[in-house]
Chain A
Amino acid sequence: MARRNVTSEVSGTVWKIEVAPGAAVSAGDTLLIIESMKMEIAVTAPAPGIVSEILVKEEQAVAQGQALAEMDC
């Protein structure tokens, strides 16, 4: 198991957090949704694993490349 950061591909705001810490997810599952420029961009699990931490809150502004969640996978 390795700890892994999941980052945002774009700058925008956090629209929705779809999982809670401790959730077991498969690769491709949506962790949270970023809104930017009238677009919803799903942030998905890069690999199967456990969500260890969500680092942002809904409606929070985030920068491109910013870590949004941590996973153990």
Chain B
Amino acid sequence: MFHKVLVANRAAAASRIIRALRKLGVRSVALYSDADKGAPYLEQADEAFAIGPAPARSSYLDQDAILAVAKRCGADAVHPGYGFLSENPVFARRLSEAGIGFIGPAADWIAAMGHKTRAREMMAREGLPVGRGSGLLSADRDAMIAAARRIGFPVLIKPAAGGGGIGMLPALDEDQLVKAAERARGLAKRGFGNDEIYLERLLERPRHIEFQVIADRHGNARHLFERDCSVQRRHQKVIEEASAPGLARPALDALADQIAATLARLGYDNIGTVEMLRGADGTFQFIEMNTRLQVEHAVTEAITGIDIVFAQIRAAAGERLDAILPQTVERNGHAIEARIYAEDPERFLPSPGPLTVFRPPSGAGIRVETGYAEGGEVTPYYDPMIAKVIAWAETRNAAIDRLRESLQNFAIVGVKSNIPAIMKMLDAPAFKEGDVHTGLLPEVMARGVAAAIAV
């Protein structure tokens, strides 16, 4: 096992990972930018180091600065959390060259799945269902239009080096395609340093279903079932649940088994999530694989009893899967997570500000993950998530009731939060019936989502 782990992240992610390290008896090192000085997650860690100015590129994305701290504090591994450098193969390689472990898969895996069209091609070769797509899109107008016609409008433009809902733009016709492609290239270049884009068929009312996989360094891989993350705004998740409501188990379980077997065969070697869209016709298609811990891992933990971060660190340290997981893992009850964002609940515009009141709920079956505390400040520099509230109960209806009750008791003053939007969703008949899809949240909101774009 590792002796000391540097957590290259902030807020809720850092807090969660530090907790898992403590449980393992491993020393933890936290980082903070100027904007996060005094943040509560720093107190949980054994050591904390300043990493640079507030903007992420000068702090949590500054590989040189993070490597320097890792060496200085004597860390023998780095946990990247999610976002920031978690899917950066260059960072993973640099760590390994410095003799420091990376708590995630091999750098080659990050690179392979990080390029979305190559990932699609690989999964298609392996026999997983992959929907209609374009391959890398030419900058030539006619070639671009021809590629879109082969798929059929409407299409979704996506950055090839992308993820996190960033730079994804829909196009309903040829004019929109040409304009949006240019914009998407700019967003992709900015977000990922790579302006390659590609097209996917834009499905109508799809469900986002993803499969949690855990693999070791010895060629073994298993799955921990699926999550349904269909409730989104701007291609970013807001409510996630396990299990997926209202779907026949045999098809889900067969796909989960196929995914785990495929990744075992290919030698995938840490935790990961295979994201699929399920069309209204019941067919699944691969969209991408995330080679890291997911924000929404806690709903899987709640129904399986498996501590995923704990397991991830052990697998990265070289332990075998059969020592990490019990022989059989079963689904027990239902869990729903709501991501609490500091944003206007009607148009979903960012709302940074002081947390003059911040009192997360607690109670039986309720788990809260946050990196903030009352008196703190939500700055404009990072993503808007200020907390995750996870409710578990025997049944989905009971979990919804429990989540609703806890959110009613979540007092936040100083920033706007999306809690009213989540409440509205929890009360929506379609949600209650499990009839979810990725367009449902904008549908249940009265005013429509503001035309902002995730970057």
Contact = CB atoms under 8 A, between A and B. Distances in A.
Nearest to A38: B383
Given A9-B349, A10-B351, A12-B352, A37 B453 contact: no
B452 A42 contact: yes
A61 B380 CA distance: 10
Contacts of A35: 380, 455
Interface in B369-398: 380-384
A64 B194 CA distance: 32
Contacts of A12: 350, 352, 380
B266 interface: no
B454 A38 contact: yes
B85 to A, nearest CB: 15
Contacts of A36: 350, 352, 380
A7 B303 CA distance: 47
Contact of B380 (A9, A37, A42): A37
A41 B452 contact: yes
B421 to A, nearest CB: 16
A40 interface: yes
Contacts of B380: 10-13, 35-37, 61
B450 A41 contact: yes
Contact of B343 (A13, A37, A42, A61): A37
A37 B382 contact: yes
Contact of A40 (B351, B382, B455): B455
Interface string A37-52: 1111110000000000
A61 B352 CA distance: 13
B364 interface: no
A56 B277 CA distance: 42
A38 B384 contact: yes
B451 interface: yes
A71 B454 CA distance: 28
A52 B240 CA distance: 47
Contact of B454 (A9, A39, A42, A61): A39
Nearest to B351: A10
Interface string A20-61: 000000000000000111111110000000000000000001
Interface in B333-365: 342-343, 349-353
In this complex, the interface size class of chain A, counting residues with CB under 8 Å from chain B, is: 10 to 19
Contacts of A11: 350, 352-353, 380
Contact of B453 (A9, A10, A39, A61): A39
Most chain A CB atoms below 10 A, which of B381, B382, B383: B381
Given A12-B380, A13-B380, A40 B350 contact: no
B451 A37 contact: no
A35 B191 CA distance: 13
A43 B384 CA distance: 20
Nearest to B165: A38
Contacts of B234: 39
A23 to B, nearest CB: 19
B144 to A, nearest CB: 23
Contacts of B383: 37-38
Contacts of B350: 10-12, 36-37, 39, 41
Given A11-B380, A13-B380, A39 B455 contact: yes
Contacts of B342: 37
Interface string B159-199: 00000000000000000000000000001000000000000
Given A9-B450, A61-B380, 9 more contacts: A12-B350, A12-B380, A37-B381, A37-B383, A38-B454, A39-B452, A39-B455, A40-B455, A41-B349
Interface of A: 9-13, 35-42, 61
13 contacts: A9-B450, A11-B352, A11-B353, A11-B380, A12-B380, A36-B350, A37-B343, A37-B380, A38-B454, A39-B349, A39-B454, A40-B452, A42-B451
Interface of B: 187, 234, 342-343, 349-353, 380-384, 450-455
Can you list the 5 inter-chain pairs with the closest CB atoms, starting with the nearest?
A37-B350, A36-B350, A37-B384, A36-B380, A12-B380
